[in-house]
Copies of this chain bind each other. A is one copy, B any other.
């Protein structure tokens, strides 16, 4: 076999990404063998390493795709929930979306668990900064403009909130007693409301 059309090539790349995503999700990064991905995708190692220099680079691509999907959804929901009456509405919609994603197995294993370990401390934050965090930050910035939160507390607060939601997603998916999407949102909103 040899060179195929451009559409075929793009399809191959997409297949690799999708297959890797599934295996990374169910087995984790280190337990997933390149040979496994290759087998399931119906290709060879040569093809995989043609598109991705290393296993880590493939992981990064999967990671970025997942994060991108989440980010897009969060932004969309935050925007469409905007209203004059309630400055919290947009912010809450974004957080809700994020919380929802953080409860997904694929997001947990790939983005939250293996992400930091594979991408490294600096690499993870570098990439994470433009995504999840900025979303939360924008929401709190809105609260600052409304005079609900003091401006000097914006950086620290956004960090606190972002990571609070992260962990909540974990706990939820783990099926921890009394930690459900509803109870988390309830507690979260309670804290927010007390800020008024």
Contacts and interface: CB of A to CB of B under 8 A. Distances in A.
Contacts of A118: 117
Interface in A150-196: 150, 152-157, 159-168, 170-171, 174, 176-179, 183-184, 186-188, 190-191, 194-195
A27 to B, nearest CB: 10
Copies in the complex: 2
A195 B178 CA distance: 21
A125 interface: yes
Given A116-B113, A186-B153, A167 B168 contact: no
Chain A contact residues, majority secondary structure: helix
Interface string A55-95: 00000000000000000000000000000000000000000
A168 B159 contact: yes
B160 A188 contact: yes
Contacts of A30: 30, 117
A108 interface: yes
Which 7 residue pairs across A and B have the least CB separation, nearest first? Answer: A163-B167, A117-B117, A156-B187, A155-B178, A164-B164, A160-B164, A194-B194
Given A156-B186, A166-B167, A191-B195, 7 more contacts: A28-B120, A30-B117, A121-B174, A125-B171, A154-B178, A155-B183, A156-B184
8 contacts: A112-B116, A121-B170, A152-B178, A156-B168, A159-B164, A159-B167, A159-B171, A160-B184
